[in-house]
């Protein structure tokens, strides 16, 4: 099945909520935004995203991961890996991430998202809505990714079993100016998470002080097991 972005619904009218996003943020005491991981397969997007989500939630911060493979089990199960389907995959995720962020949850997406133009669409959607969009480039040389190959996909791509495989038979267009550039072959998962949290705190999108207090008052065992930011 081929997806299309053509608008088919007519006679629809946007219904405003009864408060603004700012009012919602003030009431709930937190800000939503999207952290958009991009990178080759096995670059560490899911590993970093999972560690970050665990760290944030353990500190009482509302964060939710939208992961490439997981989303393809459900929402995007009708999409394959052709250029057109990859584009539609990213468009849908952008919209869903934007909704999570709008609701004041931190949306953490981990998709290869190999095409610059598609990532630009995701960014533009967020910009238009006034929602911060932070592109995180999980970067490793392809040789390292291929050596890691945790799902055995590079092997299958080399054997020609998988067509359109990013980095082998389909292009990966690296971001030119990502907000964060994490070389996962040069830093540990913990260092990666620390860098991301430090960046978010610097931009005043996040403060973990509340969570850190919980950690010391003994109410959260999970928090104490996670990375010290
Ligand atoms: N510093 C690091 N950061 C992230 N992952 C690392 C790091 N060092 C080693 N790894 C390993 O690299 C692999 C990354 O796999 P992961 O599934 O996270 O990649 P991915 O980018 O989500 O790939 P895909 O696009 O196929 O879902 C894991 O086996 C992980 O343990
Ligand atoms: Mg992944």
Residue of 154, 173, 196 lying closest to 33 (CA atoms): 196
List beta partners, residue 163. Answer: none
pTM equals 0.89
Query: CA angle 101-104-109, nearest 5°?
Result: 35
Using the mean position of ligand 1's atoms as its centre, give its distance from the Cα of residue 56 in Å: 19
Burial of 72 (0-12, 13-18, 19+ CB in 10 A): middle
Residue 156 lies in a domain: yes
Q: Residue with the nearest Cα to atom 25 of ligand 1?
A: 41
- Ligand 1, residues at Cβ distance < 6 Å: 39, 41-48, 68-69, 110, 112, 138, 148, 150-151, 184, 187-189, 192
Provide the pLDDT for residue 223. 44
Residue of 222, 132, 179, 205 lying closest to 37 (CA atoms): 179
Residue 11 lies in a domain: no
- The one-character DSSP state at 105 is P
CATH code of the domain containing 171: 3.40.50.300
Measured between alpha carbons, how far is 128 from 126 in angstroms, rounded to an integer?
A: 5
Residue 222 lies in a domain: no
113 is catalytic: yes
Residue 212 lies in a domain: yes
Domain count for the chain, please give it. Answer: 1
Provide the pLDDT for residue 114. 92
Residue 25 lies in a domain: no
Residues of the chain with pLDDT under 50: 1-3, 210-226, 228-229
Q: Which domain holds residue 187?
A: 32-216
Select which of 43, 110, 113, 170 is catalytic. Answer: 113
Provide the pLDDT for residue 4. 55
Beta strand extents in 55-209 (DSSP E only): 63-67, 106-110, 133-139, 180-183
Residue 200 lies in a domain: yes
Residue 158 lies in a domain: yes
Provide the pLDDT for residue 5. 66
Query: Both tokens of residue 37?
Result: 């991981």
Residue 67 lies in a domain: yes
């Amino acid at each position: 099945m081929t997806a299309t972005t053509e608008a088919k619904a007519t006679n629809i009218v946007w219904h405003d909520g009864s408060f603004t996003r700012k009012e919602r943020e003030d009431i709930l005491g937190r800000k939503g935004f999207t952290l958009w991981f991009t990178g080759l397969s096995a670059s560490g997007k899911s590993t970093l995203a999972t560690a970050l989500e665990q760290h944030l939630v353990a500190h009482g911060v509302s964060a939710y991961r939208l992961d490439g493979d997981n989303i393809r089990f459900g929402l995007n199960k009708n999409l394959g890996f052709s250029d057109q389907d990859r584009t539609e995959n990213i468009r849908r995720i952008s919209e869903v991430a934007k909704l999570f962020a709008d609701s004041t949850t931190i949306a953490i997406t981990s998709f290869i998202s190999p095409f610059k133009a598609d990532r630009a669409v995701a960014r533009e959607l967020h910009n238009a809505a006034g929602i911060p969009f932070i592109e995180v480039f999980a970067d490793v040389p392809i040789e390292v990714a291929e050596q890691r190959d945790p799902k055995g996909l590079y092997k299958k791509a080399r054997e020609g079993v998988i067509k359109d495989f990013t980095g082998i038979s389909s292009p990966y267009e690296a971001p030119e100016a990502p907000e964060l550039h994490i070389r996962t072959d040069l830093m540990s998962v913990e260092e990666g998470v620390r860098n991301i949290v430090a960046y978010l705190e610097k931009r005043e999108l996040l403060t973990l002080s509340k969570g850190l207090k919980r950690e010391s008052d003994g109410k959260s065992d999970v928090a104490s097991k996670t990375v010290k930011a």
